[in-house]
Chain A
Amino acid sequence: DAGVIQSPRHEVTEMGQEVTLRCKPISGHNSLFWYRQTMMRGLELLIYFNNNVPIDDSGMPEDRFSAKMPNASFSTLKIQPSEPRDSAVYFCASSTARRNTGELFFGEGSRLTVL
């Protein structure tokens, strides 16, 4: 079975450039989450969607970050312009909100380095 698919797996870019991270959730899952992980702050929830609708974006650091979910099978997280402090691993996760079992299925992450 296909899990959560994220792309790119690695990205190195220069400060000021636009970065777009992509996520395909598990088919049938109706909740999608974007997390960011750093050594200093651990895993932080950025935003989550339920049935393609953003429910809570209070974790989005600032206006440079935006996320969209145009349909049930695709989401993007965009950073524009990027800054060195945005360097982190960005994880996308999905779940079935019908059963709150606490099981989020994570993608392998997108490791972003901003120089």
Chain B
Amino acid sequence: RKEVEQDPGPFNVPEGATVAFNCTYSNSASQSFFWYRQDCRKEPKLLMSVYSSGNEDGRFTAQLNRASQYISLLIRDSKLSDSATYLCVVNMRNSGYALNFGKGTSLLVTP
């Protein structure tokens, strides 16, 4: 079983819609949490960190529930340019700075 699980999608939503992605992780020792974005045939790039109290960056909101080992990403007012794969990422203290990536959730925003 992979340490980080995500629904692969695809999520097809119209422009302007709100969409939410979920992610679960198996290791309760996980310390840090992130969302990365990967465009088709490109490299992954950091979208945002996920803090225990939840955090927001413009149209993007990330939430963490340590008790349930669950992370979420909410995108409001979807844009065509949001179409990409969103990767849930966790880091464990004893893994140094290596990150474990989920397989990603594919989002397609349509006109």
| Residue from the list A42, A97, A107, A108 in contact with B101, Cβ < 8 A | A42
Residues of A near B95 (CB, < 8 A) are 56
Expressed in whole angstroms, the Cα–Cα distance for A36 and B49 within the complex equals 23
Q: Tell me, rounded to whole Å, the shortest Cβ–Cβ distance linking A111 to chain B.
A: 9
| Chain A binder among B37-45, B52-60, B71-79 | B37-45
Is chain A's interface secondary structure helix, strand, loop, or mixed overall?
strand
Q: Tell me, rounded to whole Å, the shortest Cβ–Cβ distance linking B33 to chain A.
A: 8
Q: Is the CB of B42 within 8 A of A108?
A: yes
Q: Is the CB of A100 within 8 A of B100?
A: no
Expressed in whole angstroms, the Cα–Cα distance for A108 and B2 within the complex equals 25
Expressed in whole angstroms, the Cα–Cα distance for A109 and B45 within the complex equals 13
Cβ-based interface call for A82 (8 A)? no
Q: Do A45 and B44 form a contact, CB below 8 Å, given A100-B32, A102-B32? A: no
A-B Cβ contacts below 8 A, count: 55
Q: Do A106 and B43 form a contact, CB below 8 Å, given A42-B103, A42-B104, A101-B49? A: yes
- Per the 8 Å Cβ criterion, residues 11-31 of A in contact with B are 31
Q: Is the CB of A106 within 8 A of B45?
A: yes
Who on chain A is nearest to B103 by CB? A42
Residues of A near B33 (CB, < 8 A) are 102
A70-105 toward B: CB 8 Å interface, digit per residue (1/0)? 000000000000000000000100010100111110
Residues of B near A106 (CB, < 8 A) are 43-45
Q: Is the CB of A48 within 8 A of B96?
A: yes
Residues of B near A97 (CB, < 8 A) are 96-97
The 4 closest A-B pairs by CB, nearest first: A42-B103, A106-B43, A43-B101, A102-B34
17 examples of A-B residue contacts, CB within 8 angstroms: A31-B96, A31-B97, A33-B98, A41-B103, A42-B101, A42-B102, A42-B104, A43-B101, A48-B98, A55-B96, A56-B96, A102-B46, A102-B49, A102-B91, A102-B99, A104-B44, A106-B43
Query: Residues on A close to B: CB < 8 A?
Result: 31, 33, 35, 41-43, 45, 48, 50, 55-56, 91, 95, 97, 100-104, 106-109
